Homo-oligomer: A and B are copies of this chain.
Amino acid sequence: MPLLRSWIETANSAETEFPLNNLPYGVFSVGDGDLRCGVAIGDRIVDATGLEAAGLLRADPDADVLDAPFWNDFMELGTTVWASYRAALTEMLAEGASEDAQDAITTYSVPMADATLHMPFRVAEYTDFYAGRHHATNVGTMFRGAENALPPNWLHIPIGYNGRASSVVVSGTEVRRPWGQLKSPDHEVPAFLPCRRFDIELEMGAIVGTGSDRPVSVDEAEDMIFGYVLLNDWSARDIQAWEYQPLGPFQAKATATSISPWIVTKAALEPFRTSTPEREKELLPYLTENKPGLYDIPLSVTIQPENGSETVLAQTNYSEMYYSSAQQLAHHTTAGSPMNAGDLLGSGTISGPTKPERGSLLELSWGGKEPIEIEGGTRTFIEDGDTLTLKGAAQGDGFRVGFGDCTGKVIPALDASDLPYKTER
């Protein structure tokens, strides 16, 4: 698919993440104005809430679904409306659009540089998976040895756990280093301390658009997914190591999960579809895919110390996943739990086969044993003042389809005197 040309010239650049081929959905405000639904195009944001209120572009003729600071009500309308809305908006933005359309967009759009971006949707519930094979193998090797790296169930189940929806934040939100209960290997008893092994996990997040209260197939799950975001699952490795047996990670994953400000729709990603890898073990029929379930999306993560320069920590690709989001969602529905609009499914950490493709510091520094060189220093885990940024854009023929950076600066833990209890015994 070639670049779709827009009469908004900045959308035609080979560099922009927001050509007419993309049209990702977000929520923005300007100055002290209210939060509005917006669509990114080149260096502008189309005010979708304004277009709806003015009757110039409506998703639902009978209800205002964009009169809210989130896209959830729109998402619930389902695939037919998603497609017709996208088609109508594409027509208004395409080269040769009518003068009326161009007037409407000119009236109802703002420069992206003037806008503040907010959470693009209300997170109903958040699930995180563990479905990248290289990541699971690396972590398993560190914790259990190379022979037992993959748990026995791993090649059969997209392993997942429920996370904390209230901890999901939009890119740009500062992330405060957590305190927590942890135990050093050389201590008899645990202590309450600021996390010393704070980490990222480079992931993609799939957003459920339409819900279901019965088990669904992978094909049906595919139709339920509205779009994707970049997702950084901040992880406190020392808290995790002490707490996770036997019921899984809890406070280690509760500090924050950052997502990109823009939801890229399935429609925009369609040209980049690619298959999940060959299966080492045959999957059960309920996980059968009838079309390629992944996307070719080059991803990277960078680190930038306070007052320092940026270093690329790793580069990988969403196509490295073993299970697709649709497979994860189908598995999620097997036992009867209803899924709802706004449910967010983290892919699991995406690592490639080689060292520079590892999507977490835990893997990059091999559990802290092999410090990584960065501009102006070294790192095993994140230090205060570091800004971590995920980037991702699918590469088309002369255009890119991106998500906007997913960034977060780590600020120091609360001072002990600001906690409502003593921290030492």
Interface residues of A (CB under 8 A from B): 124-125, 130, 151, 153, 156-157, 159-167, 176, 178-181, 183, 189-192, 214-217, 220, 236, 239, 242-252, 254-256, 281-282, 284-286, 288, 331-332, 334-340, 414, 419-425
Contacts and interface: CB of A to CB of B under 8 A. Distances in A.
A285 to B, nearest CB: 4
Contacts of A246: 130, 151, 159, 244, 248
B250 A167 contact: no
B178 A250 contact: no
A130 B247 contact: yes
Nearest to A257: B337
A420 B220 contact: yes
A309 B281 CA distance: 47
A282 B425 contact: yes
Contacts of A163: 162
Contact of A153 (B124, B156, B243): B243
Contacts of A162: 161-164, 250
B336 A178 contact: yes
Contacts of A151: 245-246
A415 to B, nearest CB: 12
A422 B290 CA distance: 14
B125 A336 contact: no
Given A421-B286, A424-B285, A336 B247 contact: no
Given A161-B250, A162-B163, 13 more contacts: A153-B190, A159-B246, A161-B162, A161-B247, A162-B164, A176-B336, A178-B334, A180-B334, A192-B334, A251-B332, A285-B422, A285-B425, A286-B419
Give the residue among A181, A249, A250, A286 with the most B Cβ atoms within 10 A: A250
28 contacts: A124-B166, A125-B125, A125-B164, A153-B183, A153-B190, A156-B181, A157-B242, A162-B250, A166-B338, A166-B339, A167-B337, A179-B334, A181-B334, A191-B284, A215-B420, A244-B246, A247-B249, A248-B249, A251-B331, A251-B332, A251-B337, A254-B332, A254-B335, A254-B336, A255-B336, A285-B421, A286-B419, A286-B423
A298 B338 CA distance: 33
A124 to B, nearest CB: 8
A284 B242 CA distance: 14
A180 B284 CA distance: 11
B239 A286 contact: no
> 4 tightest CB-CB pairs across the interface, nearest first?
A248-B248, A254-B337, A162-B162, A178-B335
A104 B130 CA distance: 57
Contacts of A165: 125
Contacts of A156: 181, 183, 189-190
A247 B248 contact: yes
A248 B248 CA distance: 4
B336 A250 contact: no
Give the residue among A159, A191, A217, A334 with the most B Cβ atoms within 10 A: A334
B167 A336 contact: yes
A334 B153 CA distance: 32
Contacts of A243: 153, 157, 159
Contact of A284 (B125, B190, B285): B190
A212 B103 CA distance: 46
Nearest to A159: B247
A414 B285 contact: no
B160 A250 contact: yes
Nearest to A340: B166
Given A249-B247, A284-B192, A242 B160 contact: no
A118 B258 CA distance: 35
